[in-house]
Amino acid sequence: MATLQSLKTPIKELGETHLLPEGTTFHDITESISRVTENPAPRGWWLLFIPALALLGVMGASIAYLVTVGVGVWGNNAPAYWAWDITNFVWWIGIGHAGTLISAILFLFRQNWRTSINRFAEAMTVFAVLCAGIFPALHTGRPWFDYYLFPIPNQMDIWPNFKSPLLWDVFAVSTYLTISVIFWFVGLIPDLATLRDRSKSLLRKRIYGFLALGWRGSHRGWQHYERAYLIFAAISTPLVLSVHSVVSFDFATSVIPGWHTTIFPPYFVAGAVFSGFALVLTLLLIVRAIFGFQHIATMKHLELMNKFMLATGLMVGYAYAMEFFIAWYSGNPYESWVFLHNRLGFGATDHYGNWGPLYWSYWAMVGCNVIAPQFFWSKKFRTNVPFMFVATIIINIGMWFERYVIIVTSLHRDYLPSSWGDFTATPADMLLYLGSFGLFFTLFLLFVRWIPMFAIAELKSVLPHAHPDMAELTREEKAGASSELSPAPAE
């Protein structure tokens, strides 16, 4: 009888391999991952951490400047009231989505290779959502009144408008952040216990011990724990799809040509996963090089991620094409104008005979998002580390341009030529965006330094002999074949 075990054995003839190099033991995994938190940080870590801290300072300064002077320090003005701030918000939140996809959706599909990247990707989600939150919070103009967004009594005696997609956003993003943090923490409990048990100093033992909640690896606990993990995966999957759908509703429910389109929710979700995978891979390549984790995040993992980027890149490319089809098929002259003039930049000049001034951003987007990932059809490029590092950065530049194109090129040419305007970013725009990288990388580098950056317990469970073959053991026991054990004592 073909047992489950034999189904899990890789077929050598097909070129299948184990997820981790052959002969990896449980202790190897514990040792190589915990070591990072116990040894002094390598020089590469400091080389990244110091600039990250400096950028965090830039963020603090630019927020202080914005709050003191007012939101007018940004370039947003009539008619482009949304510009870099909302672009950055959508970009950061989109990046977070890959983390949830890896930790939840791939878990439901039993893609065991995710265990090498999920911890990482979940941390990235949490930090990216924090960065995203800064922008709309400041864009309200008076951030100290942001509590009006929540359904709590305020001095105006009025409640939030629950019919507004902007309020849906508040609920979607704050729920997303909360659930991501919980999911991440629950996944961390057994690994924090590993660090606790390895601690040499009392302080480490106290801190990790406190956070590990007294975890004893008990199977009665694992049983509930595994079910909780499954439930988190099951609720995070619709949640992550809903978050970027709700973000896209901010645009799709308005009547701005270029925004008012039903393709937005799936288009935004695909784009989010695309850019998120790119950033996970950028970070993974950096960390892999600094800490030497080539045996845990193997070429096999990198190649699978590149395939994901190719697939989502194609979806995004399809959505770009479909937008043009709908602009033509709807017969709406405003819609066609936006796409031909504002985005493509040719085919329709304005009444001065000028091309759309921001057409270059559309072409930057297509070049980065549609053309760059096509190289991943070839295995040579999918397994070339320097190439994929550059490609992931290009993809994220492209995804930033995608949001910029959607937001600014649609807004800066309104229905009436009298309301046309232009948008120019100011230094305050740029510094805050730059500063948000400081927040992200500071948190991320602290995470890789002090928290197990790979899921230790989960990696152990994907080793070839991690699970006993219960059918076999039961049969042996029935047949009395487990003779290597001495007979059980009589009562």
Partner 1 sequence: MTENQEKRPALYLAEYDSPEALAKAAMRVRDAGYQKWDCHTPYAVHGLDEAMGLKPTKLGVISFIAGMTGICLAILMIWYMNVYDYPLVIGGKPPAMSSFPSMVPIIFETSILLTGFGTLFGMLAMTKLPRHHHPIFESDRFEAVTDDKFFISIEVEDPKFDLDRTRSLLESTQPSHLELVEEAA
Using CB under 8 A as the binding rule, the residues of this chain from 408 to 447 that contact partner 1 are: none
* Neighbour-count burial for 1-32, b at 16+ CB within 10 Å, e otherwise: eeeeeeeeeeeeeeeeebbbeeebeeebbbeb
Q: Of 292-300, 373-381, 386-394, 472-480, which segment contacts partner 1 by CB under 8 A?
A: 472-480
> How near is the Cβ of 253 to partner 1 at its closest, in Å?
9
Is 104 a binding residue for partner 1 by CB under 8 A? The answer is: no
* Among the listed residues 16, 146, 226, 422, the single contact to partner 1 using CB under 8 A: 226
CA distance 312 to 100: 15
Q: Closer to partner 1 by CB, 11 or 158: give it.
A: 158
Per-residue contact flags (x/-) with partner 1 for residues 186 to 225, judged by CB under 8 A: x--xx--xx-xxx----------xx--xxxxxxxxxxxxx
Is 11 a binding residue for partner 1 by CB under 8 A? The answer is: no
Q: Of 79-87, 95-103, 170-178, 293-301, which segment contacts partner 1 by CB under 8 A?
A: 170-178
Q: Closer to partner 1 by CB, 184 or 441: give it.
A: 184
| DSSP state letter for 407 | I
> How near is the Cβ of 32 to partner 1 at its closest, in Å?
12
Is 232 a binding residue for partner 1 by CB under 8 A? The answer is: yes
Is 36 a binding residue for partner 1 by CB under 8 A? The answer is: no
CA quadruple 71, 76, 81, 87: dihedral sign: negative
Q: Of 92-100, 348-356, 409-417, 483-491, which segment contacts partner 1 by CB under 8 A?
A: 483-491
Query: Could you tell me which residues are beta bridge partners of residue 80?
Result: 77
| DSSP state letter for 406 | I
CB-CB neighbours of 448 under 10 Å: 24
CA distance 255 to 350: 21
Is 25 a binding residue for partner 1 by CB under 8 A? The answer is: yes
> How near is the Cβ of 489 to partner 1 at its closest, in Å?
5
Q: Closer to partner 1 by CB, 443 or 455: give it.
A: 455
Is 18 a binding residue for partner 1 by CB under 8 A? The answer is: no
Residue 232's nearest CA partner among 179, 276, 190 is: 179
Is 13 a binding residue for partner 1 by CB under 8 A? The answer is: no
CB-CB neighbours of 121 under 10 Å: 27
Tokens at 64, concatenated = 């202080």
Is-contact 358 405, C-beta < 8 A?
yes
Is 6 a binding residue for partner 1 by CB under 8 A? The answer is: no
Q: Closer to partner 1 by CB, 69 or 473: give it.
A: 473
Residue 283's nearest CA partner among 297, 304, 300, 269 is: 297
Is-contact 103 122, C-beta < 8 A?
yes
Is 350 a binding residue for partner 1 by CB under 8 A? The answer is: no
Footprint of partner 1 on residues 320-349 (CB under 8 A)? none
